[in-house]
Chains A and B, each alone.
Chain A
């Protein structure tokens, strides 16, 4: 079973890297970019076949390690 955990910065948290990327895109002449926020994607392969169990494990993974919930939100998807 494949899954994806997406970690993004919470609203209001300053993202200097996103800002730098935004600036670079603008200087490249890519049109219509209003703003950029940088995040992380984890593609995870799960051993079992139980979807509910998988979601529970992924949530634990995100809470314990993948995200720092002081500044980040996460989303878990079993694909």
Chain B
């Protein structure tokens, strides 16, 4: 799996992401600076990592979404290439128009930094095939703006088309207001694009991939991507 990790000023999770990608695929990923106008030849997966691009000025991800490299990412996605955005990366993908909706301030206004449980809604996608449908995984979050919002019609379409892949839940997999840590519409933690090749999620699966991290629940996502690409090859 040849992966490209985008780097914007203020991004700080790119190395965690590269480490998780290497662990899953055995291959080093390429760091791609935001001012580039093309992606490395043969890229299988583009990852937009977490952090605070441009200090979250204007709106989270708004300025990064308009940088030169994002035109290349849009073209890559239009060709069916796999794109994954985590945390600030999810915000950037929403601002760039690759995913619908927007991430608003957490409902209780607090920056949240702790583990959460996620319910994997389906397993037949590139981004979830390492899990079973209904499986509950534990991964960390670290965000102040993760409250997913979209207009009613978009939400209906996301649900109807099965494009909600990850939802905040209890350790037993129950979804409800009590477990919806940031107030996101329908407890949404991660969604995919219409064609299913662009994922955005607030939690950080790359931070739960090694025993030393205390949990390896995030591995399935990366292993699933590797498997998906091997099957497609």
A-to-B contact residues, CB < 8 Å: 13-14, 16-17, 20, 64-66, 68, 70-71
A71 and B102 contact, CB distance less than 8 A: yes
Q: What residues of B have a CB within 8 angstroms of the CB of A68 in the complex?
A: 59, 62, 95, 102
Chain B residues bordering chain A, tally (CB within 8 A): 19
Given A68-B59, A68-B102, verify A16-B107 contact (CB < 8 Å): yes
Within 8 A of A (CB), among B106-133: 106-109
Q: What residues of A have a CB within 8 angstroms of the CB of B106 in the complex?
A: 16
A64 and B58 contact, CB distance less than 8 A: no
B-to-A contact residues, CB < 8 Å: 58-59, 62-63, 66, 95, 100-102, 104-109, 149-151, 183
B109 and A71 contact, CB distance less than 8 A: no
Q: What residues of A have a CB within 8 angstroms of the CB of B101 in the complex?
A: 70
**Cα separation A71 to B145 with both chains bound (whole Å):** 14
- A contact face: mostly helix, strand, loop, or mixed: helix
| A/B interface sample: 9 pairs, CB < 8 A | A14-B149, A65-B58, A65-B62, A65-B63, A68-B62, A68-B95, A70-B102, A70-B149, A70-B151
A14 and B66 contact, CB distance less than 8 A: no
Task: Name A70's contact: one of B58, B150, B183 (CB within 8 Å).
Answer: B150
Q: What residues of A have a CB within 8 angstroms of the CB of B107 in the complex?
A: 14, 16
B215 to chain A, nearest CB (A): 30
CB-based nearest A residue for B109 = A16
**Cα separation A17 to B104 with both chains bound (whole Å):** 10
